[in-house]
Amino acid sequence: MNRKIGHITILVNDYDEAIQFYTQKLGFELLADNAFGNGMRWVSVAPSRQNGSAIVFVKADTREKAERVGTQVANHVLLVMETDDCYRDFAAMKEKGVTFFGEPKEMPWGIEVVFADLYGNRFDLLQHNGIVNTDAQQVNDTESQSGS
């Protein structure tokens, strides 16, 4: 079976302001911006075109959705954005006005710092050190070898 997570949705107040923030402040690429009439629009961004997964913006077009903009996961980290240099990306994003919750810190799994998007959604900027295995196949293989 070949499955993957292709997209995650984030509620936004306005497509264009979200595109501007994600592309200009976070350095993401605009993958798609398609209008389908009647206000329907498919807008997706990702750190790069080669990423394999993307964020799709969903217009908060009801009162319930509008109330959840920026708090979809109750002020917990919504996504982890991996980087090869946390300090570099922290400095570049901070210079562009991105709000961070502290400075990058060394953790057992790498260097990380939490930041917010324009609506308050929290993201973890992580320079992974390889200690925590993120390859599920290796984890499953190791468990089957140990008899778990």
User: Per-residue confidence of the chain (148 residues) as pLDDT tens digits?
Assistant: 888 888 999 999 999 999 999 999 999 999 999 999 887 899 999 999 987 899 999 999 999 999 999 999 998 999 999 999 999 999 999 999 999 999 999 999 999 999 999 999 999 999 999 886 656 555 444 444 445 4
The C-alpha atoms of residue 52 and residue 18 are separated, in whole angstroms, by 20
Domains of the chain: 1-69 (3.10.180.10), 70-148 (3.10.180.10)
End-to-end CA distance of the chain: 22
pLDDT at 40: 85
The C-alpha atoms of residue 51 and residue 6 are separated, in whole angstroms, by 10
Q: Are 9 and 58 in contact (CB under 8 A)?
A: yes
Phi then psi for 31, rounded to 5 degrees?
Answer: -90, -40
pLDDT at 139: 46
CB neighbours of residue 137 within 10 Å:
8
Distances (CA, A) of 45 to 16, 66, 98: 12, 21, 17
Burial class of residue 125 in the structure, from the number of CB atoms within 10 Å of its CB (0-12 exposed, 13-18 middle, 19+ buried): buried
The C-alpha atoms of residue 102 and residue 115 are separated, in whole angstroms, by 8
The C-alpha atoms of residue 116 and residue 12 are separated, in whole angstroms, by 13
